[in-house]
Amino acid sequence: MSEPIRLARPDVGEAELAAVAAVVASGMLTMGPKVGELERALAGACGTADAVVVSSGTAALHLAMMALGVGPGDEVIVPAYTFPATANAVELCGARAVLVDVDPDTFDLEPAHVAAALGERTKAVLAVHLFGRPVDWEALRAAVPQEVALVEDAAGALGARYRGRPCGSLGVMGCLSFHPRKIVTTGEGGAVTTDEPELADAIRRLRHHGIVSHGGFDIPQPGLNYRLPDLLCAVGIPQLERLERLLAARERVAGWYTERLEQLVLTPSAAEGDRHGWQAYVVQLDRRDEALEALRAEGIEVQIGTYALHRLGAYRDRGAFPGADRAFARALALPFSTTTTESECDRVAEALARHV
C-alpha cells in the first residue's frame, strides 16, 4: 500500500523548537512576556486594537459571550451547520442557541434566515466563516439591528479577508482557534480580537478567574482559568510571523485541488473580492459516505466537513434545516496543509474520481 496521506499536518519545526526552549530556559512558563507578544502580533494581523489569547477557540467563544453579558433568557443566533462549540458556548452561559439555516453550497449563514429568527430576546449573532470562507458581512449587517451584537466565529479564518478587511475585525469581537488543523497552531489555544477596550478588559479578567488586574485584589464577577501559557504562545509566534507565506502555500494546494476536481465535485471558493482563509479544503459530492470509506481504505485520510447541529442530541428540538442537512450529507474534507504535495493532490483526485 502507498504511504498514508494525513488529513492535516501542522507547519512547525526548528523555529518553534527554539522558541519553546527559550521559554523553558527563562523559567517564565505562563502569563509571561510571550503572551503579550503573541497578542500584539495577532492584533496587527487582524487589524484590531486588541487581541486576548486564551486556552482554546471554544474558550474564546465562551468568554466573548460572557463579556457581552449573555445569560439566562437571552438568545444567540448560530448557524445550523458548524462545529458544536459555536452553539455550546451560548448554552454554557445559560442562553439559548437559535439555529438558522445555511446556504448549502457556500456553508454561509443566510441573512434572510437570520432576520427571520430575530426576536426580543436576541442578544447576539455568532457568524461562522466556515473552513475560512468569509461570510457576506454587509448583507448580514444589513439584516441585523444595531443593538444586536455581531460576533465572528473566525476559528478557521485567520488571514482571510472580506472585501479587503481581515476576518476578526468585522464584528464587535472575533474568536480565533489555534488547533493543529488551523493555519497557525499553538497545539491548543485561541484568541478574542476586538476594538472595544472594555470588552478586551473583560476577556482578560474573565480568563484569569475574574481577577481585576489593577488596584487591590478583587473578583467582581466569577471567571475561569482560560489562560494560554507562554510555552504555547512561543509555538504560535514564529508561525504568525510567516502567516502570509503559510496562507500562500495553502492557496497553492487549493489551486492544485481545484484544477483537478472542479469538473467532478463542487469545489470551495470565496466570493469575488474576498480572500479565503483555507483552514480546510472541503468538497461536496453525492454518496459522500461511500467516497469517505473508499478513500480511507486507500490510505487517504478524509473526514466529514462538520456537523448539522439539529442532528445532535443537545440541539435536536431546534427545527428543520434543509440547507444544513444537505451540507452535512455531501461535505468531504480532503487532506490539506501547507506541506501537501502536488503528487499527493494527484493521488487524492485520482482516488476520488474512481468513486464519484
Cell of 102: 445555511
Terminal-residue alpha carbon distance, the chain: 22
Radius of gyration, CA atoms only, the chain:
20
Q: Tell me the C-alpha distance between 107 and 131, whole Å.
A: 9
Q: Tell me the C-alpha distance between 258 and 251, whole Å.
A: 10
Residue 27 gets the label, from left (phi > 0), alpha (psi -120 to 50) or beta, of left
Q: Tell me the C-alpha distance between 57 and 168, whole Å.
A: 13
Residues near 17 by Cβ (< 8 Å), separated by ≥ 6? none
Q: Convert 67-101 to b/e letters by CB count within 10 Å (16 or more is b).
A: bbebeeebbbbbbbbbbbbbbbbbbebebbbbbbb
Cell of 68: 457581552
Q: Could you tell me the maximum CA-CA distance found in the chain, to the nearest angstrom?
A: 67
Q: Tell me the C-alpha distance between 222 and 253, whole Å.
A: 45
34 as an active site residue: the answer is no
**Contact in structure between 44 and 237 (CB atoms under 8 Å):** no
Q: Tell me the DSSP string of 195-254.
A: S-HHHHHHHHHHHBTT--SSSS---SS---B----HHHHHHHHHHHHTHHHHHHHHHHHH
**Contact in structure between 285 and 265 (CB atoms under 8 Å):** yes
Q: Tell me the C-alpha distance between 202 and 332, whole Å.
A: 38
* The one catalytic residue among 123, 161, 179, 182: 182
Q: Which residues are catalytic?
A: 182
